[in-house]
């Protein structure tokens, strides 16, 4: 087993801290890319399905609003024709 060096300078400690942080960042990046490779396509497919459902719901809502607006226009047209 390797024994830690006791006589490390402040510069050595800073260098080790930077190296440790760089290795941790690379590890995190590797984990993220593994996660994306596993779940990315599934998640994207689910998001597309949800987006499509939301789009269909919004289209239906807009069609309903358009019908209500058309009815209002017809009503106003009839009222104006009576005057």
Task: Give the model confidence (pLDDT) of 10-53 as tens digits.
Answer: 888 888 889 999 999 999 999 888 887 777 677 777 888 889 99
- 43 is written with which tokens? 């998640």
Torsion of CA 32, 38, 42, 47, to 10 degrees: 0
CB atoms within 10 A of CB 82: 6
pLDDT one-digit tens code per residue, 57-82: 999 999 999 999 999 999 999 988 88
Look at the pTM and tell me if it is higher than 0.85: no
49 token code pair: 């399905």
């Amino acid at each position: 087993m390797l024994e830690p060096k006791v006589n490390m300078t402040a510069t050595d400690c800073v260098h080790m801290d930077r190296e440790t942080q760089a290795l941790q960042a690379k590890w995190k990046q590797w984990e993220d890319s593994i996660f994306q490779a596993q779940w990315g396509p599934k998640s994207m497919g689910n998001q597309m399905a949800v987006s499509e459902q939301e789009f269909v719901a919004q289209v239906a809502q807009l069609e309903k609003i358009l019908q209500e607006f058309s009815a209002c226009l017809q009503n106003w047209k009839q009222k104006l024709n009576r005057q």
